[in-house]
A and B are shown apart, each in its own frame.
Chain A
């Protein structure tokens, strides 16, 4: 392990929530009123003091968080909303102070908690580069030296002297990220900033961040809700949960734990059961047999989809199909079963349909099933279920060389390739 550059010990941050006030701000009137109340209470009823503060509640945003980060490590910080990620970053970047505990940092820290902090809409792109650079801690000489690089990276040469209020949002974000990307700190702290900008630019940013860590040996803290970006950039992750470190270790495992922790909404993952009292031809239950527990599927592993068809009115053109849809409701693949010999075309009962896929290679993300149970001759849909059996696909097993980007395709298929010299055709001779 390389030298430790960041050492966090028992870091704790407490916020005091005030339930009494309607507005978020303290006003002078409240303070004066509170103080007078407090004083009069102390004067007249000294023994009731202890319970007078019931309107205030303590909230521990971080509790005894400790970890060490070595030089050149890229560490992902993941966790659900309110787990304390932002608080941790804010303390690391010295925006706010911890309540107790301590952090030792060796090297210059630059934090990028928001793109375009300090941008002023009235100023031109050129002016904002200087301003933003200065706010982020660059010296004027440094900015001047990197100015051209920043402009080229942001692709805004033509609009350099236009006020940024006339920029498109994409241009704005590009410029903002470009400035930040050219900081040269020993430690870079990045919050969810890649969620903006178009695909091509996001890719460019990820590439830049990767080169910052691998080639230049900088330490990077990276917070994201995008497990895809986390998996691509980091090898180590700290999973926060309710202000505590739930897990600190390999990204694969952290991501798996994170996804598993998400499915606690009471609903069983990867499973569907028909509501009781349903009549007619319908699906009694459906299940996705994913490679791991809790509806998590490892990329490339075999998967089995299982459906129980409850048939009361057999018909010779009963037809069953289902689609796999991603979280944007886009269908990714379609499977159907149309066998003239199936028993449910002739007799009533409950029948199990099994659909096995040897190498299920969906891009990582969350997916659901949509089923179509219909009768072909009269073209009637008997049952159409949507958004059932939610499951997750992870890509932790995948080799880096064969990884692909979500904008290339969402499903990979096995293919047999051959390469051979061409036989010269007779016409050419």
Chain B
């Protein structure tokens, strides 16, 4: 009748962990479902908030960068240019902040029940992803409004969404694990998010960055994601800076792998430290 034998030792085996992660897979869904349900409870307009916020930011950015600063858009309507970057950025930033707080917010669960802790930050990313999909509706509406027809490149969009997902999870895991031990990161994360908005090419096209700085600029992993989004959505004459893109992609992967490594390393002490 025994299906499995489990050994608990100091420094438990890696294999067991990934097996557990699989057997607890439904929890990803349940935690994300809970957060989505809770988010808009007792609000009058509910999920509409997921549309209003990015829409208003897009309006402001369009006015500031296009009408006041007169930055070039490279042919595409400026609102679409902004929004194509706004989507991944909003996803990344909200995933990062939700993720870093997720373990603390679920501390009572962590100190009382066992499950692979990776589920908690990951489902925080999933929640942000749902918001991302909802605000994608605005992009479609904008395209209809400006009668903008994307070309074949739009089909590559899922690849860039995946990169955004990996980047957000990687950064989120680092911050989540660090926040458990050092509460300082509660103050660091909002700063990163705010700062990142201006150093990432959200309000403007990265083509305005001088050529000699492009590679350096690509050290920001969000640059490749945002450029990729623009490349896929705007089509036509928007170009991708390949050396920068590959560098950025490499950094995203490094962030992801090291994020999992650090998270796994500190995970065993979460219940004692939190």
Chain B positions within 8 Å of A5 at CB level: 2
Cα–Cα distance between A141 and B258 once the two chains are bound (Å): 35
Which of chain A's residues 123-140 have a Cβ closer than 8 Å to chain B? 123, 127, 130-131, 134-137, 139-140
Chain A positions within 8 Å of B194 at CB level: none
Chain B positions within 8 Å of A111 at CB level: 112-114
Contact across chains for B109 and A135 when beta carbons are under 8 A apart:
yes
In which size bucket is the chain A interface?
35 or more
Contact across chains for B114 and A26 when beta carbons are under 8 A apart:
no
A100 at the A/B interface (Cβ < 8 Å)? yes
Contact across chains for A105 and B26 when beta carbons are under 8 A apart:
no
A113 at the A/B interface (Cβ < 8 Å)? yes
Cα–Cα distance between A113 and B108 once the two chains are bound (Å): 11
Cα–Cα distance between A118 and B119 once the two chains are bound (Å): 14
A95 at the A/B interface (Cβ < 8 Å)? yes
Chain A positions within 8 Å of B272 at CB level: 15, 96
Among B160-168, B179-187, B208-216, B232-240, the stretch in contact with A: B179-187
B148 at the A/B interface (Cβ < 8 Å)? no
A378 at the A/B interface (Cβ < 8 Å)? no
Q: Quick one: CB contact mask for B13-40 with A, threshold 8 Å, 1 for yes?
A: 0000000000010110010011001100
| Best-surrounded residue of A97, A104, A109, A130 (most CB of chain B within 10 A) | A97
Q: Quick one: CB contact mask for A91-122 with B, threshold 8 Å, 1 for yes?
A: 11111111111111111110101100110101
Q: Quick one: CB contact mask for A129-165 with B, threshold 8 Å, 1 for yes?
A: 0110011110110000000000000000000000100
Cα–Cα distance between A96 and B10 once the two chains are bound (Å): 10
Chain B positions within 8 Å of A98 at CB level: 8-10
Contact across chains for A134 and B271 when beta carbons are under 8 A apart:
no
Contact across chains for B114 and A102 when beta carbons are under 8 A apart:
no
Contact across chains for B183 and A25 when beta carbons are under 8 A apart:
yes
| Best-surrounded residue of B8, B33, B182, B268 (most CB of chain A within 10 A) | B8
Contact across chains for A131 and B6 when beta carbons are under 8 A apart:
no
| Best-surrounded residue of B109, B113, B115, B271 (most CB of chain A within 10 A) | B113
**Shortest CB distance A187–B (Å):** 10
Contact across chains for A123 and B113 when beta carbons are under 8 A apart:
no
Chain B positions within 8 Å of A262 at CB level: none
Minimum-distance CB pairs A-B, first 5? A134-B30, A94-B114, A103-B8, A96-B271, A102-B9
Beyond known contacts A26-B181, A95-B110, A104-B5: 16 more, CB 8 A cutoff: A28-B184, A29-B184, A91-B8, A94-B8, A96-B272, A97-B268, A98-B10, A99-B10, A102-B9, A103-B7, A105-B7, A106-B6, A108-B3, A109-B6, A118-B113, A123-B37
Q: List 13 A-B contacts (CB under 8 A).
A: A27-B183, A90-B271, A91-B8, A96-B268, A103-B9, A104-B7, A105-B7, A106-B4, A107-B3, A111-B113, A114-B112, A117-B108, A123-B41
